[in-house]
Structure 1
Amino acid sequence: MGVSKIGILGAGTMGSGIAIASAARGIAVTLYDVTESQLAKAKGEAATFFGRAVDKGRMSAADSDAAQARVATSGALQDLAEADLLIEAVFEDFDLKARTLEALSPVARPDALIATNTSCLKVSDLAQHVAAPERFLGLHYFSPAQINPLVEVVRGDATGDATIAEALAFCEATGKKPLLCKDHFGFAVNRFFCPYTNEASRCVDDGLGTPVQIDRVAQEALGVAAGPFFVQNIIKPRINLHAVRNLKPLGPFYAPADYLTKAGEAEESFDLGTDPGPDPTRDRPIAERLLGATFLPVLEELDEDVAGPGDIDMGAEVALRFGRQPCELMDSLGRAEVERLVRPLAERYGVALPESLARVGSLRG
């Protein structure tokens, strides 16, 4: 079929980012929202983005004007009826997404693809609220969607092969790097990113360090461009808390830390403060906790065949800017060291050591 026109439901941060990314690559976009001010804000963000592209010499003024013209806004669902692909991008709440999809289904063309931009919820559960589940899948864009190249392409239980093929082609046509993964809570990347950020808060709860100290240790241990608290202040602790809570069905290891819960519920940012500087005695336990909390969910998702080691590492590098990717890092450390890091968390939360632990040393082949 090919995708030349898309409809996006929700003109918030993710919806507007997806619209900008798609319009920049020649796709006609209709952005829907029930709030007129939100639509106006999204149009302003598109104008700012393309205007800066001109200022930096990345786009001509004519191309900028054409890209902005490709972003239409509407408060009427019926205006999405001709879209080849419809992307639901409302707040990460199951009931809200379900109601949105139920309202969308009668409007969509019978041959149109319908996608959810959920970051953690199961696509197969949401598919029960879509008229044609074989045409439904997950397209999880990473923030900021207008810049971040990764999109997780999630196959639900009923998703058809043709739907996946069309979605992969759309991602590539719009300059995105698709990561095909199995439908499970957290998918391939948030499955370990959420526990990693959550463990950072647990380190604060346990008195191991301050946010700025933990950020520095994370940069050293995982080669990340920015530590977990700095990143959460960008995406907002409230948003990350909601994503962590959506992993609750996976067990107690995934339950949110008190420090994250307090910041998220208060809609506050983390106070980074001043770093006292390196202290090997204090830093080492933090590094080991962060590494263990990253490795355990990666090994679990390998057991569940959510994604392969190469794709998981690609997601960590492309979406999260991990300089040291989880599977490659585990291979370099070896099975004994990885087990030493993972076992305390497995015992603390009553989970079995993943079977994939036996493959450490040759995960990447």
Structure 2
Amino acid sequence: MAVERIGVVGLGAMGAGIAQVAIEAGFEVVGREVTTELGEAAAGRIGHFLTRKVEKGQRTQDERDAAVARLTTTSELSKLSECDLVIEAIVEELDAKRALFAELERICRTDAVLATNTSALSVTEIAAATATPERVVGMHFFNPAPLMPLVEVVRAQLSADEAVAAALAIVERLGKVAVPCHDTPGFVVNRVLIPLLNDCVRVLDEARVTPESLDAAMTNGAGWPMGPCTLLDLVGIDVHVHASEALYEKLREPRMAPPPRIVGMRNAGLLGRKSSRGFYGYE
């Protein structure tokens, strides 16, 4: 199917990033937030990021203005009725996503593809909230979406070939790298990365090293572009703990469970860059 108009539900950091990528690629985008004020604030952040691209010579002013003009925001789900594809980027809670997809099925055209950006929940369980699970797929963007090139395109148990093909074609138009996979806990990247990061956190205590030393070890000894503590601070300690707990619940593999140290950080509000303190301090 030809996709020209994309809906994005949830314009937090991830949803706004997806919306930005889409308008830069030439898609018309309808972004939905729970209030008009939050939607307008997200549109302002997107416009700001595109202005910075102009200042860096990565976009012309005309290109920036044309992209911004392709974005509209709303607080009403009904405004997504004419979208060819809707990408959900709300809170990582299964009940909330299932309720949203049931509503989207009622609102959207019957030929529209419905995609979830979940990083750790089951796409199949989300799709089961609809009567047409064949049109539901996963499109897992990575944060920050404008910079990270990967999108995991997840085939749920009942996803139709046409819906998966449409999602893959959209990822190509967005200029991203698509990795198609089936619906398994953690998909590809998080299934590997989350237990690895948990191991890194355990090493902090077991080897009695500092976050700086661990980051230096992994960047200089293993060739990582970013140390694990820096990466966790960037992703968000709370986001990592939530994803780790979700994988452990499904798999019951000890390495999937978040270590007590990082759970304690989450409980203390040491969330990384978003709270100005995590493994490191930020101004």
**Which of the five TM-score ranges fits, normalised by the shorter chain?**
over 0.9
Total equivalences in the alignment: 273
Aligned counterpart, 2:92: 92
1:229-276 Cα offsets, whole Å, 9 max, x none, are 111111211111111111012122211101111112222132348xxx
Q: CA deviation at 1:37?
A: 3.1
Match for residue 275 of structure 2? none
Amino acid at match of 1:108: C
Deviation readout 1:129-183 (Å, 9 max, x if unpaired): 1231111000000000122110000000100111111111110011111001111
- Give per-residue Cα distances to partners, 1:269-321, cap 9 Å, x unaligned: 32348xxxxxxxxxxxxxxxxxxxxxxxxxxxxxxxxxxxxxxxxxxxxxxxx
| Aligned-partner Cα distance in 2 for 1:245–1:120 | 9
Match runs of 1:231-242 below 5 Å: 231-242=231-242
Report the counterpart of residue 320 of structure 1 in structure 2: none
In structure 2, distance between residues paired with 1:131 and 1:26: 31
**Structure 2 CA distance for aligned equivalents of residues 153 and 222 of structure 1:** 28
TM-fit CA distance, 1:121? 1.1
Matched, 1:35 2:35: yes
> Which ranges of structure 1 fall in alignment gaps of 5 or more residues?
274-365
Question: 1:35: how far off?
Answer: 2.8
Query: Secondary structure in 1 aligned to 2:115?
Result: strand
The aligned amino acid for 1:261 is: V
Aligned partners of 2:131, 2:162: CA distance in 1, in Å? 17
Q: 1:246 to 1:91 in 2, by over 3 A?
A: same
- Cα deviation digits, residues 67-95 of structure 1 (max 9, x gap): 00111100001000000000110011112
Matching residue within 264, 267, 271 for 2:266: 264
Asked if structure 2 preserves the Cα contact closer than 8 Å seen for 1:135 and 1:159, the reply is yes
Contact 1:140 1:151 in 2 (8 A): yes
Letter aligned with residue 98 of structure 2: A
Query: What is the rounded CA distance, in whole Å, between the counterparts of 1:38 and 1:238 in structure 2?
Result: 22
Question: What does 1:297-308 correspond to in 2, within 5 Å?
Answer: none
Tell me the secondary structure at the aligned position of residue 152 of structure 1: strand
Q: Per-residue deviation at 1:204?
A: 2.4
Counterpart position of 2:129 = 129
- Tell me, in whole angstroms, the C-alpha distance in 1 between the residues paired with 2:102 and 2:222: 42
**Runs of 4+ off more than 2 Å:** 35-38, 204-208, 269-273
The 8 Å contact of residues 168 and 178 in structure 1, kept in 2 or not, is answered as yes
Q: Which has the larger radius of gyration?
A: 1
| Structure 1 SS opposite 2:120 | coil
Cα offset for 1:44? Answer: 1.2
| Partner in structure 1 of residue 251 of structure 2 | 250
The residue identity in structure 1 corresponding to 2:251 is L
Structure 2 gaps of 5+ residues are 273-277
Q: Is residue 73 from structure 1 mapped to residue 73 from structure 2 by the alignment?
A: yes
The one-letter code matched in structure 2 to 1:53 is K
SS at match of 1:105: helix
Query: The residue matched to 1:186 in structure 2 has which SS?
Result: coil
> Cα deviations across residues 9-58 of structure 1 (Å, max 9, x unaligned)?
10111110000000001000000011333212211111111111111112
Residue pair 1:30, 1:79 contacting (<8 A) in 2 also: yes
**Cα displacement string for residues 307-350 of structure 1 (whole angstroms, at most 9, x for unaligned residues):** xxxxxxxxxxxxxxxxxxxxxxxxxxxxxxxxxxxxxxxxxxxx
Post-superposition offset of 1:228: 1.0
Give, in angstroms, the shift of residue 207 of structure 1: 4.7
The 10-residue stretch of structure 1 (48-57 or 22-31) with the greater mean CA deviation from structure 2: 48-57
Matches within 5 A, 1:97-116: 97-116=97-116
Which residue in 1 is equivalent to 2:216? 216
**CA deviation profile, 1:167-206 (whole Å, cap 9, x unmatched):** 1111001111100111111000011111111111111243
Question: Whole-Å Cα distance in 2 between the matches of residues 50 and 219 of structure 1?
Answer: 31
Rounded to whole Å, the distance in 2 between the matches of 1:187 and 1:254 is 14
The one-letter amino acid of 2:221's match is: A
1:272 to 1:75, Cα distance in 2 relative to 1, 3 A: closer
Distance between the aligned counterparts of 2:90 and 2:113, measured in 1? 17
Give the partner amino acid of 2:122.
K
Q: Is the 8 A contact 1:149 1:177 kept in 2?
A: yes
Kindly report the root-mean-square deviation, in angstroms, between the aligned alpha carbons of the 2 structures.
1.3
Q: 247-256 vs 18-27, which deviates more? A: 247-256
Q: Secondary structure at the match of 1:256?
A: coil
* Cα drift, residue 104 of structure 1: 1.5
